[in-house]
């Protein structure tokens, strides 16, 4: 779990209060303009309010643009089709179907379909379609703007802050899983390892979505170090990829009886890599000298074993398993070193 039960409860309580405040503000502002306004303003406020600022701003944009497109399409259709119930229904079906098709290009057309429905099917005793449609656009705009204000000013939960929290927890979990995989390899057993990286692999996609949301919608309002966030996201991806390669070796263990002569060196590389992972997750720039020394010592020991001919005395299959596992551990450590160098380069003074 990325959030504890009490923390998650608190976040959703805040989200509920913010949604209610946005609905109340939209109803109040709409009533100041016209006592009859408010229904669609409140609905729009509730629809576009999301848990973080970036997602709320994205929905605000979708709702505003979709409303303008839908109102234009609805008014155009009402002037083109015959002024009968069947004519209006036919125009409605065509415009909604067109919006559904155009959604292949942008999700804004899903919001346009809602506005088309409001304009074309809602009761219109006066027949003044332009007046009715423009009032609905104004009403929806009030709801969207109310959500925008509340999302930015009341307990703003920024996508970048959520991403930092996720990365810290994920790097810690990645380091813990690394330990389990190495222990399984050293014990020559694959018990309880299958599928252990599935959760991290699934969360990586959402990390990228949060980062894109921050870049597109929040960057003007909150000044987080986007370069550092980008480096950490890609570093986590690389760590999980290397762990997946090592896990594959562990899952292929069958009746292996060899002794891991480099166990001490591998465990040292793993321990120092774990320390760097956890430090990166905590937004710290770690001292990488111990990891560099561990990688160097492991390489020297491997060269010595090769020179003594010890590697040739085990089967080709066993040798490939050991070399593949060690190579992945080595690459993981080297990628962490590269990551830390990049963070040193881009960190803000």
pLDDT in tens, 197-232: 888 888 888 898 888 888 888 777 766 678 888 889
**pLDDT tens digits for range 2-33:** 555 677 788 888 888 999 999 999 888 888 87
Residue 36's pLDDT is: 63
pLDDT at 32: 81
pLDDT of 241 over the 60 cut: yes
Q: How confident is the model at residue 306 (pLDDT cuts 50, 70, 90)?
A: low
pLDDT at 259 over 60: no
Q: Is it the case that residue 125 has pLDDT exceeding 50?
A: no
Highest mean predicted confidence (pLDDT) among 19-23, 69-73, 118-122, 304-308: 19-23
pLDDT digits (tens, 9 = 90+) for 75-85: 888 778 877 77
pLDDT score at 234: 92
Q: What is the pLDDT of residues 129-180, one digit of tens each?
A: 677 777 778 888 888 999 989 988 888 888 888 888 889 999 999 999 998 8
Q: Residue 332: what pLDDT?
A: 92
The confidence band for 60, taking pLDDT boundaries of 50, 70 and 90, is: confident
Q: Is the pLDDT of residue 309 over 70?
A: no
Q: What is the pLDDT of residue 191?
A: 63
Residue length of the chain: 349
pTM of the model: 0.74
312-341 per-position pLDDT tens digit: 555 556 667 777 888 888 999 999 999 888
The interaxial angle of helices 198-213 and 53-80, nearest 10 deg, is 70
Look over the chain and give the mean of its residue pLDDT values, rounded to a whole number.
81
């Amino acid at each position: 779990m990325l959030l504890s039960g009490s923390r998650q409860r608190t976040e959703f309580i805040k989200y509920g209060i913010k949604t209610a405040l946005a609905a109340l503000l939209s109803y109040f502002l709409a009533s100041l303009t016209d006592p009859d306004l408010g229904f669609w303003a409140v609905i729009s406020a509730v629809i576009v309010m999301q848990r973080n600022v970036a997602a709320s701003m994205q929905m605000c944009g979708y709702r505003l643009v979709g409303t303008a497109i839908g109102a234009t399409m609805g008014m155009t259709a009402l002037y083109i089709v015959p002024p009968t119930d069947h004519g209006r229904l036919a125009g409605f079906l065509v415009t909604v179907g067109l919006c559904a098709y155009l959604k292949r290009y942008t999700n804004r057309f899903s919001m346009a379909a809602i506005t088309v429905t409001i304009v074309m099917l809602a009761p219109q005793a006066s027949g003044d379609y332009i007046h009715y449609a423009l009032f609905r656009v104004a009403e929806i705009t009030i709801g969207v703007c109310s959500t925008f204000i509340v999302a930015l000013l009341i307990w703003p939960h920024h996508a970048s802050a959520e991403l930092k929290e996720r990365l810290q927890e994920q790097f810690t979990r990645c380091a813990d899983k690394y330990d389990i995989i190495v222990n399984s390899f050293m014990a020559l057993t694959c018990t309880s390892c299958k599928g252990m990286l599935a959760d991290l692999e699934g969360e990586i996609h959402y990390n990228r979505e949060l980062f894109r949301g921050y870049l597109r919608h929040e960057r003007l309002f909150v000044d987080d170090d986007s370069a550092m966030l980008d480096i950490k996201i890609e570093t986590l991806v690389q760590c999980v990829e290397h762990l997946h390669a090592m896990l594959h070796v562990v899952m292929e263990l069958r009746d292996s009886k060899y002794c891991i002569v480099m166990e001490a060196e591998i465990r040292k590389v793993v321990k120092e890599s774990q320390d760097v992972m956890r430090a990166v997750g905590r937004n710290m720039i770690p001292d990488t000298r111990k990891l560099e020394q561990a990688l160097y010592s492991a390489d020297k020991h491997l060269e010595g074993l090769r020179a003594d001919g010890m590697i040739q005395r085990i089967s080709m299959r066993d040798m490939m398993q050991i070399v593949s596992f060690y190579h992945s551990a080595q690459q993981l450590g080297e990628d962490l070193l590269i990551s830390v160098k990049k963070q040193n380069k881009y960190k803000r003074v």
